[in-house]
Amino acid sequence: MLAVFLMLVASASPQARVVKRPIPQDAKSVIRSVHVAAQAKDYRALKALMVPEFKWSFGGDSDADQAIEAWKHDQEALRELSRVTRLRCLFKADTKTIQCPANSGIYYRAGFTKTAEGWRMSYFVAGD
């Protein structure tokens, strides 16, 4: 009975949602570039590192240009983006997405996906 309980707790934990496999060097480079651009408030550089259909809000907002405009008026978002991209990142389970930080729960997190143009940031959100 205890073993079943422990299995259920482990599968519900945030750590069950990530996979420990090496992050490709080109992805690490993009994550570092996002960190530097967020710290410098370099919106042009950030935009170049994002997918066009970028998810930045759970209110249906999926556009990189909208995200950039919102961040110009929300310096906390840029501070958080800079913060999360210097933390440990891992692949999300059953996906090809890298998430920073690995186990964020409902707090700020950034996702990176491989595209035809290379690795790009595909989301930066907080909440469920």
Mean pLDDT by 10 residues, the chain (128 residues): 34 49 94 97 96 83 88 92 95 88 87 96 89
Across the chain, the runs of DSSP E, i.e. the strands, are 18-19, 50-55, 90-92, 97-100, 109-115, 118-125
CB atoms within 10 A of CB 87: 15
Indicate whether this model's pTM tops 0.85: no
Statement: 21-125 belongs to CATH 3.10.450.50: yes
Q: How many CA atoms lie within 13 A of 12 on its CB side?
A: 6
